[in-house]
Amino acid sequence: MLFFFLFFLTTTTNPSFVHSQSLPPSPTPSPCRSPKSIFLLAGQSNMAGRGGVFINTSTGGRVLTWDGIVPPECGPNPSILRLAANLTWVEAREPLHADIETNRTTGIGPGMAFANAILGRDRSLASVGLVPCAIGGTRISEWERGTFLYDQLMRRARAGTNDSGTIGALLWYQGESDTARESDAVLYKGRLEKFFSDVRADLQSPELPIFQVAIASGDGPFIETVREAQFKLDLPNVRTVDAKGLPLRSDRLHLTTPAQVRLGQMLANAFLQSRSASLASEASNRGSNLVFHVLSFFTWNFVKAVFIDR
């Protein structure tokens, strides 16, 4: 019996411009009814994507245009879906925010590179749903509970989970607009913490993983004040990916296409590391519970045999 007990344990407990938008091809209907793992993409222009956007002067004007170049890391995949503006799932294609930021010229963001990276390394995710919500030029105060942007984020998040999908994380890249005024930069930390807490409360997901990007640029002189606030957030299960040092376009504000690809991969690394740690913790807890129940079983049988059935 002792041999059986030891064998059982070892096998079960191992643990001023005109904007011209080059739109992607018309999306085809989703091959899946709904994705299994859903990710919210929110913030401002660097999350929405400005990679490949340039000032086109060939017609004599100054027209913002997307160059239409899609890196292989951002290519379409039948297992990657996007929640369109009309709240239906379609196959995801760049630019992800084309029908969300309809008055802006959008390009490559980090979303597709992120989705392709996590699917390539974790097949258990099965299918991924991206929910674009980012709007360029927005301050954190414009994302407070009760604002249009907050309500739209909640509406789209809930629509994405109508068919039993689960929100895997919020990917957040915002803060550049809060660098223009010192008062906004000083208040940034408290406002961001409240925003994250409100999102978790309203989605009834108190431990929702949040992956925020520390800004690499800004509209004003208080970039370091905002960055310091981002790194000093006092909330559990919030991880920060630093965009500082990634290449910027000539406007010194927006990430280039290669930078967006790299950022998407950095976010994927952070997510997969967090997921692995969470799964390991769950396995360890299951193993501990199993050991307890097995010990209880054999202890009871020993007591019963020695003291009760004698």
Q: How far apart are alpha carbons 221 and 109 in whole angstroms? A: 25
User: Could you say which of 163, 183, 197, 251 is catalytic?
Assistant: 251
User: Could you say which of 97, 127, 177, 254 is catalytic?
Assistant: 254
Torsion over CA: 100, 104, 263, 54 (sign): positive
User: Could you say which of 30, 37, 45, 79 is catalytic?
Assistant: 45
Question: Helix or strand or coil: residue 127?
Answer: coil
Q: How far apart are alpha carbons 133 and 147 in whole angstroms? A: 14
CA distances from 171 to 1, 82, 147, 210 (A): 52, 15, 19, 6
3-class SS letters over 201-232: HHCCCCCCCEEEEECCCCCCCCHHHHHHHHHC
Q: How far apart are alpha carbons 291 and 284 in whole angstroms? A: 11
Q: How far apart are alpha carbons 114 and 116 in whole angstroms? A: 6
Q: How far apart are alpha carbons 49 and 91 in whole angstroms? A: 18
- Asked about 45 being catalytic, the answer comes back as yes
- Asked about 293 being catalytic, the answer comes back as no
Residue type, 87: L
- Asked about 202 being catalytic, the answer comes back as no
Q: How far apart are alpha carbons 162 and 271 in whole angstroms? A: 23
Token couple for 56: 């086109």
Q: Which residues are catalytic?
A: 45, 251, 254
